[in-house]
Amino acid sequence: QSQERVFNFAAGPAILPENVLKKAESELYIWRGSGMSVMEMSHRGKDFLSIIEKAEADLRKLLNIPSDYTVLFLQGGATTQFAAIPLNLCNPEDPVDYLVTGSWGDKAVKEAQKFCKPNVIWSGKSEKYTKIPSFDALEQNPDAKYLHICANETIHGVEFKNYPIPKNKDGILVADMSSNFCSKPVDVSKFGIIYAGAQKNVGPSGVTIVIIKNDLIGNAQPITPEMLDYKIHADNKSLYNTPPCYGIYMCGLVFEDLLDQGGLEEVQKKNMKKAEILYNTIDASNGFYRCPVEKSVRSLMNVPFTLEKSDLEAEFIKEAAKEKMVQLKGHRSVGGMRASIYNAMPLAGVEKLVAFMKDFQARHA
């Protein structure tokens, strides 16, 4: 990483690969002989069509997306999907199941209450969202239209390592993968819908990716706004209205980069290595640093930790920033620190952080 850049541990918008930014910079004013920037192009012209089609094709390769699934590039963030999912999959009286392992799952269920009858089948709230339950113990409703999970809770650092089998009639599992999208291989065929805001692992904010099994498209409630109706977006290949063109272009560059790295198995290996050295440092600190999350479900992407001497936290963050490691403050709802180490965080960034942590401990223990 070049000298002028900081190591950005933000949860999102987050660090992007430096080579991707450089590539985007090199074609910022004039995209490949088109005489204009991607930002200035018609979304219906052949140049932009080639960009969005390549982005989709590369994402399909990366995640090995089956042909009976549709890929949508939408707007409104993952938050909009909290409403779009029940609107498209349920009628107002339909029951649905939510497994709540952190604040994002909690937000999703609250939004769903406006459009269907969600039931929280398990919540980790009383244990401060540090666990994922054993799937055998879950009481799923056979009449539920879907089972919803948040595959990686960005604030609490809790990540599913495998997935519950949906026991509802149609066997539909829906997952918010905003903060671990494309960080590891995923068997898409196990899901009815996977959705993710791009701004953590695959691009700038403004793009929301939805991967949906085709037979779930076309049943939206009559009150569904056009912009939330999957059928309208699917029929129009994500071009019903003006899409977030530049964001989609950037996602495309990231997908290309992930393929160049050898695909998601290789990416996962790198992510595991980075997470391992950070968690090991925390666990080997004799309690100076603590991560509250149960070991078996610790996130590879978002690592929350606290200092035993909590009055040192502000100093930790200040000193780290001086050494060009920024955005380490935990989410305002949980406090402490959080290091987000998405795909684009180089190993060198995590090595620098753990060296700093050891030195900080030596000076303050």
Active site residues: 104, 176, 200
Is residue 181 at the binding interface for ligand PLP, with CB under 6 A as the rule? no
Q: Quick check: bond before 13 cis, omega within 30?
A: yes
299 binds ligand PLP (CB under 6 A): no
Q: Which stretch binds ligand PLP (CB under 6 A): 60-68, 109-117, 123-131, 172-180?
A: 172-180
Which segment (140-148, 171-179, 279-287, 326-334) binds ligand PLP by CB under 6 A? 171-179
In the complex, the smallest distance separating the C-beta of residue 264 from ligand PLP, rounded to whole angstroms, is 19
| Secondary-structure percent of the chain, ordered helix, strand, coil, rounded to 5 | 40, 15, 45
CB-nearer residue toward ligand PLP: 152 or 168: 152
Minimum distance between the CB of residue 11 and ligand PLP, rounded to whole angstroms? 6
- Toward ligand PLP, which CB reaches closer, 307 or 345? 345
Q: Is 340 in the site for ligand PLP (CB under 6 A)?
A: no
Q: Please, which residue, 168 or 201, has the CB nearer to ligand PLP?
A: 201
By beta-carbon proximity to ligand PLP, the closer residue of 179 and 281 is 179
DSSP helix/strand/coil, 295: helix
Q: Determine which residue in the list 130, 179, 183, 327 makes contact with ligand PLP, applying CB under 6 A.
A: 179
Asked whether position 154 contacts ligand PLP by CB under 6 A, the answer is yes
Distance CA 31, CA 26 (A): 9
Between the two ends of the chain, the Cα-to-Cα distance in Å is: 31
The residue count of the chain comes to: 365
Name 229's Cβ contacts closer than 8 Å, sequence gap at least 6.
87, 88, 220
Of 16, 55, 78, 344, the one binding ligand PLP (CB under 6 A) is: 78
218 vs 229: CA distance, rounded Å: 8
Q: Tell which residue, 94, 92, 95, has the closest CA to residue 114.
A: 92
Q: Which of 166, 197, 204, 243 binds ligand PLP (CB under 6 A)?
A: 197
Q: Using CB atoms within 10 A of its CB, is residue 227 exposed (0-12), middle (13-18) or buried (19+)?
A: middle
In terms of Cα–Cα distance, which of 224, 253, 228, 256 is closest to 240? Answer: 228
CB-nearer residue toward ligand PLP: 41 or 89? 89
> Cα–Cα distance between 317 and 61 in angstroms, integer?
39
Q: How far is the CB of 155 from ligand PLP (least distance, A)?
A: 7
Query: Given the rule CB under 6 A, which of 63-71, 73-81, 122-130, 253-261 is the region that contacts ligand PLP?
Result: 73-81
Token pair, residue 94, equals 């339909």
CA distance 71 to 242: 17
Residue of 51, 65, 144, 150 interacting with ligand PLP (CB under 6 A): 150
**CA angle at residue 78 from 72 to 82, to 5 degrees?**
100
Quick one: which segment of 15-23, 74-82, 110-118, 127-135 binds ligand PLP (CB under 6 A)? Answer: 74-82
CB 170 within 8 A of CB 198: no
* Mutual angle of helices 245-260 and 46-63, in 10-degree steps: 40
Q: Nearest approach, Cβ of 97 to ligand PLP (angstroms)?
A: 18
Name the segment binding ligand PLP (CB under 6 A); options: 135-143, 174-182, 237-245, 327-335.
174-182
| Per-residue mark of binding to ligand PLP, 10-39 (x: CB under 6 A) | --x---------------------------
Residues touching ligand PLP, count (CB under 6 A) = 11
Give the interface with ligand PLP as residue ranges (CB under 6 A). Answer: 12, 77-79, 104, 150, 154, 176, 178-179, 197
